[in-house]
Structure formats: C-alpha cells, structure tokens
Amino acid sequence: MLDLDRFVEDCRVAVAADPTPKTVQDVVARAFSDPADVLAAVGEPTAGGIVPLHVADDLTILNVIWKPGMTLMPHNHEMWAVIGVYGGREDNIFWRRVQDAPDGRIEAAGAKALSTGDVTPLGKNVIHSVTNPIQKLTGAIHVYGGDFFKIHRSEWDPEHLTEQAYDIEKAKAMFGR
C-alpha cells in the first residue's frame, strides 16, 4: 500500500529540487503505477469532497472526489498541476482565451479523458473544466505547485464563457453538496 506521508515527503523533495512539474510528475507516476495502492491509502470514497493532504506556499496535495455527473466550470490555477486518477474518470475540456475579447471570453481548444491509473501534468496557464461523466464517485490526487487555497485566479461563467474571479468557497460547496 502507498504510504501517504512518504508520498507527500517525496513530492516536497521533488519540488525543492525542481520547481517545475517534471519531478513531481515522476513521483505521482510511480505512485499511480498501481492505482489500487493509492485507493487503499486514501480509502474508498463515500462522498464528494476536496481533502487537503498537504498545503504549503510551494506545494498543495489534494484528494479530490468528484460526485457522479459533477461538472466544474472552466477555471485556471495560475500554477502547474499534476493529476492522478485512482478510481473513475475525469473528462477535461481545455480552453483558450479569445484574442482581443474585452470580457476575457474563452473558447474550447481540446479535451482529454483521464481514467483510473492515468497521470497528466497541467501547465501554469491552462484553463480547463472538469466533468465526472460516470455514475459513481471519481477519486484523484491533485498536486499543485503552490498554495491552491491562497492564489488569485479566474473562473468563467459556464453560459457566456466570460471571466470572473474564482470563488473557492463556491467550488468547495459544489463538492460538498
């Protein structure tokens, strides 16, 4: 079984050695070589939620549990991320800013489905929305290159795709409902 304390320490050492997502991605990929070990370490999800495993100025590690059918509006992180799915699926739509749009409007630019065992990095400037398209909980470990809860970032209105300030409390409530 994965040792969560060791995983966190390995991520901390990786960020101290290299502030890019490369070395953290290697740590996450090793941990997710057997997603059942990750599931055993965090426990079988029973409800949606955002569970902090580590929060510091240079690194945040979250256990993110998506409710069935849940969609999170387009948003950015203003820091790199590495995502590893230990059960279920995350469908990501990637967005780009519409050139010269005064309201920060975005348009779709690609997509990627992440399934159990998949690990992928997201760059600092990525804008994405996430959906759990299946009718069971999806669990993933999200590792961020900064303090996820303190950084100023944006989200986009899902109807008009216009930019506004990210509301972390609204996002937490969506996971908790």
H helices within the chain, ranges in order? 4-17, 21-31, 35-42, 168-176
- Tokens 């902090």 sit on residue: 52
Q: Average pLDDT in the 152-176 region? A: 91
Tokens representing 58? 């240079």
Residue 95's Cβ-side half-sphere holds a number of Cα atoms within 13 Å equal to 23
* pLDDT tens digit sequence for 111-147: 999 999 999 999 999 999 999 999 999 999 999 999 9
Residue 49's Cβ-side half-sphere holds a number of Cα atoms within 13 Å equal to 9
* pLDDT tens digit sequence for 82-109: 999 999 999 999 999 999 998 899 999 9
